[in-house]
């Protein structure tokens, strides 16, 4: 939720997921990425009032280095984002 003046509005609804829960196109795209086997957490963020869903992948390398990738799904098309998604 974000505050807009005196009112709050819903901007997204999030939930944790597993690889098995992901839509097949999202699974395929993340598995093509480097270090996809190092995914430690997945968050689905449905953008309220739109057909956009952002999948956030948190990765941890063997040496402890953390990284993050995001995939945008909209109208049955998926794309790896170059920059962090903003509401």
Task: Give the mean pLDDT of 3-27.
Answer: 93
Region 46-71: what's the mean pLDDT? 93
Structure tokens at 60: 């941890």
pTM of the full structure = 0.87
Q: How far apart are CA 69 and CA 42, in angstroms?
A: 10
Question: How does residue 36 score in pLDDT terms, banded at 50, 70 and 90?
Answer: confident
Residues in a beta bridge with 16:
43
């Amino acid at each position: 939720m974000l505050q807009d003046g005196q009112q709050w509005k819903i901007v997204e609804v999030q939930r944790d997921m597993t690889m098995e829960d992901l839509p097949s196109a999202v699974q395929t795209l993340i598995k093509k990425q480097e270090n996809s086997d190092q995914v430690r957490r997945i968050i689905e963020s449905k953008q309220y009032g739109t057909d956009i869903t952002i999948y956030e992948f948190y990765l941890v390398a063997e040496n402890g280095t953390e990284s993050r990738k995001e995939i945008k799904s909209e109208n049955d098309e998926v794309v790896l984002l170059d920059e962090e998604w903003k509401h």
